[in-house]
Structure 1
Amino acid sequence: MTDQVTINPIVLQRADPCVLRHEGTYYFTGSHPRYDRIVLRRADRLEDLQAAEEVTVWTKHATGPQSQLIWAPEIHRVDGAWYIYYAAAPVDHGTVDAPSENETFNHRIFVLENTAEDPFDGEWVERGQVDTGWESFALDATSVVIDGAQYLVWAQQDLTVRGHSNLYIARMSTPWTLATPAVELTRPEFDWEIEGFWVNEGPSVLVRGGRVFLTYSGAATGVDYAMGVLTADADADLLDPASWTKSAQPVFVSDPSVGQYGPGHNSFTETPDGDAVLVYHARTYTEISGDPLWDPNRHARAQVLPFDADGSPLWGTPVPDTRPTPTSTEVLPADGAF
């Protein structure tokens, strides 16, 4: 196995990080702290993403359902085209300050497509909202292709279920259209998932050694934020909830000994040698001034994910910083100078 990523954070002030390695290049996107745009970076090494040029490929609308709080973009490559899944809300997006049990934001899931060979070229075309089967708070879509079938996994609120969001899966007929009804895989139930808010969100999928590991994040986005995991056999019916086993305990949590708090909303990529890499965000402090939504200092981090002899991930703990990080609430320029 290769060494750990040598520089962390890999990108400052970009929460909900998504990294895709394609033909030797790392493509990065994440939530911009102003929540008004979708950005991309690329580099040959994860350590070089911070210094990489950041390009805005899409900006929020002036009005309508995509005019506020652009969250958690993910970049994917499917059938020779590029896709970005993201969540957006109308200006009248719901209660920002301390939403009650069933009073949340008003996000929906949307898709951009680019058929150019280079995602920094060509045109990003809006393919519209993903029809998940019902209208409610929906966000954090991720996609995976397994045995030729594309699946979407996302978080959404069911007003008949206590909490803000559960996780669902469906097979897709196109990268913006579901082919099957949504199937609930998990809802907030354990103590660690309901600290502050009742949340299951931020799913990501890793297929390794004949198994599918579906990670997600729970609780409010401060120090209690943590990652859980569901596991299934890769040849099982992934649309059957019985195929999945859910860990009762979080697998990746805050570590005060290295000054990392609220790790979560992860994605997976790989090293040039094919080792799995866990990408996630975390803060370096616990005291937040004002609304945590507008604190920009959830930084993107990455570390190699080892496995035991049975092929199970050894999740470990967040790595310490090796790059200076800001603590003020000022949004840095794209190059991260401060």
Structure 2
Amino acid sequence: MRRLLMVTIVWFIMVMGSARGYYKNPVLSSGADPWVVKHEGIYYYCCSKDNGIWVSASKDLHHINLPVKVWSAPEGKKWNSHCIWAPELHYIDGRWYIYYAGGYSGPPFIHQRAGVLQSVGKDPFGEYIDKGSIFTGDTLNDWDHNYWSIDMTVFRYKGDLYAIWSGWDKHEKTDKTQQNLYIARMKNPWTMGSARVKISSPDRDFEKGELPLNEGPEILFHGDDVFLIYSCGQSWLDTYKLAYLKLRKNADPLLPENWLKGEKPIFEGNEGAFGVGHACFTTSPDDTEYYILYHTKKDRTPGWNREVRLQKFTFDENGIPYFGKPEPRNKSLPLPSGTVEE
């Protein structure tokens, strides 16, 4: 009888385990610079297309619904009339903010600057106020030297709000210019409270290639650890990859020496993923699993024909994020834990 009971229990566990559904990559057949934020149990996805910014909502991490346009770039030759790139949606102090890059012309893409939109209320699909360009130069409020900047993200650390972005050392006449990572403390979600500090340049061999780039920075918290995951290796090539910086324990993020760079890439493409980059991070519906959402090229041809993929990741014995290898297209992957199937 006991043996029969044990067999029944094992069978039940196997059946229930196999009942968990699956998803397949890509989760978006066309897309780039993905951003998802989990708020009150809902996943909000933000993207740019048709010279505007779009938002969608889903209770499922693996399923991205059709987005709704929440903002259109102004007409004419304003600073942000064209080239709307890499928007991020953040909920800060009761309102939604969208950080993005824009320019007044391009190519060449030499006019990009960071900007921010503020929601009128608490609805991420509601009206947004254009709060203008954000200062990203060396001397606070010297707007003549508000330098090229893209891929801005924000985060709170020890009560203060910080911005991190990819930018140039100075004004340039070509977009074939090295990109570095900068940080500044913010006075409020649309105003810098300090001048920028450079915390990373593409000084490792794996970061160089045709054009040395550090871009797409994203913060990843794990316990007391703070990681800055960023992209390097040319976004238009299959060499695109992820690398990381780690903030020293309880250290001042405005001091460059407190950011320790990894000695090798942390996530790279393979035969089924032709360059991986510009990732963001979240957790499963029940918060027991970590997930990375990233884009990859659809083939090895140089260019920006990309799709968006999702996969689970963990942390190694040293507490470093372990993303493994990109999962193949169309492979069945278990649904994120806590997903309620209908």
Output the TM-score relative to the length of structure 2. 0.82
Q: Residues of 1 paired with 2:262 and 2:177: CA distance?
A: 19
**Equivalent residue, structure 2, for 1:114:** 119
- Kindly provide the CA deviation profile for residues 175-210 of structure 1, in whole angstroms up to 9, marking residues without a partner as x: 011111211110111222122211111000011121
Partner of 2:179 in structure 1?
165
Match of 1:17 in 2: 34
Aligned partner of residue 305 in structure 1, secondary structure? strand
Question: Map of 1:285-296 to 2, 5 A cutoff?
Answer: 285-288=299-302, 292=303, 295=304
- Measure how far apart 1:17 and its partner are: 0.3
Q: Taking structure 1 as reference, are residues 4 and 152 closer, same or farther at Cα in structure 2, changes over 3 Å only?
A: farther
Q: Structure 1: where are the runs of 5+ without partners?
A: 96-103, 324-338
> Is 1:39 equivalent to 2:39 in the alignment?
no
Question: 2:81 aligned with 1:73, yes or no?
Answer: no
1:232 maps to what in 2?
247
What whole-Å deviation, never above 9, does each CA across 1:286-324 have from its counterpart, x for those lacking one? 024xxx2xx4x311212112112332211211112228x
Q: How does 1:246-325 map to 2 (within 5 A)?
A: 246-256=261-271, 259-274=272-287, 275-288=289-302, 292=303, 295=304, 297-322=305-330
- What secondary structure does 2:206 align onto? helix
Structure 2: distance between partners of 1:167 and 1:31: 22
Structure 2 residue identity aligned to 1:58: W
Inter-partner Cα distance in structure 2 for 1:126 and 1:287: 37
Amino acid at match of 2:318: D
Shift of 1:30: 2.5
Quick check: which has more Rg, 1 or 2? 2
Shift of 1:94: 4.7
- Answer whether contact 1:209 1:311 (CA < 8 A) is retained: no
Are 2:150 and 1:135 aligned? no
| 8 A Cα contact 1:154 1:169, kept in partner | yes
Per chain length, whose mean CA-contact separation is higher, i.e. which structure has more relative contact order (CA < 8 Å, sep 6+)?
A: 1
Shift of 1:77: 0.8
CA distance in 2, matches of 1:107, 1:235: 33
Q: Which residue of 2 aligns with 1:98?
A: none
Kept in 2, the 8 Å contact 1:207–1:234? The answer is no
Contact 1:5–1:303 (Cα < 8 Å) also in 2? no
Q: In structure 1, how many angstroms separate the alpha carbons of the residues matched to 2:133 and 2:231?
A: 23
Structure 1 residue aligned with 2:69: 56
> Retained in 1: the 8 A contact 2:148–2:171?
no
Output the CA distance in 2 between the equivalents of 1:18 and 1:89: 20
CA distance in structure 1 between the aligned counterparts of 2:320 and 2:280, rounded to whole angstroms: 17
Distance 1:178 1:6 in 2: 41
1-side partners of 2:87 and 2:310: how far apart? 17
1:269 Cα deviation from its structure 2 partner: 1.2
Amino acid across the alignment from 1:226: K
Residues 162 and 183, structure 2, Cα contact 8 Å, conserved in 1: yes
Q: How many residues align?
A: 301
Query: CA RMSD for the aligned pairs?
Result: 2.3
Asked whether the equivalents of residues 100 and 151 of structure 2 are also in contact (C-alpha less than 8 Å), the reply is yes
Matched with 1:328 is none
Map 1:139-218 onto structure 2 (within 5 A).
139-159=150-170, 163-218=177-232
Q: How does 1:89-100 map to 2 (within 5 A)?
A: 89-91=103-105, 93-95=106-108
Equivalent pair of 1:226/1:254 in contact (CA under 8 Å): yes
Distance 1:160 1:31, change over 3 A: closer
Q: More deviation in 76-85 or 299-308?
A: 299-308
* TM-score for both structures, normalised by structure 1: 0.83
2:40 partner amino acid = E
**Deviation at 1:118?**
2.1
Describe the SS at the equivalent of 2:257: helix
Instruction: Give the Cα separation in 2 of the matches to 1:196 and 1:226.
Output: 14
Residue type at the aligned position of 1:228: A
Q: Residue 29 of structure 2 aligns to a residue in which SS?
A: coil
| Aligned residue type for 1:10 | V
How far has the Cα of 1:160 moved from its partner?
A: 9.0
**1:264: Cα distance to partner?**
0.2
User: Structure 2 vs 1, CA of residues 218 and 299 (structure 1 numbering), >3 Å: closer, same or farther?
Assistant: same
Would the alpha carbon gap of residues 308 and 249 (structure 1) be closer, same or farther in structure 2, given more than 3 Å must change? closer
- In structure 2, relative to structure 1, the CA distance for the partners of 1:251 and 1:110 (3 Å cut) is same
SS in 2 for 1:167: strand
Contact 2:60 2:285 in 1 (8 A): no
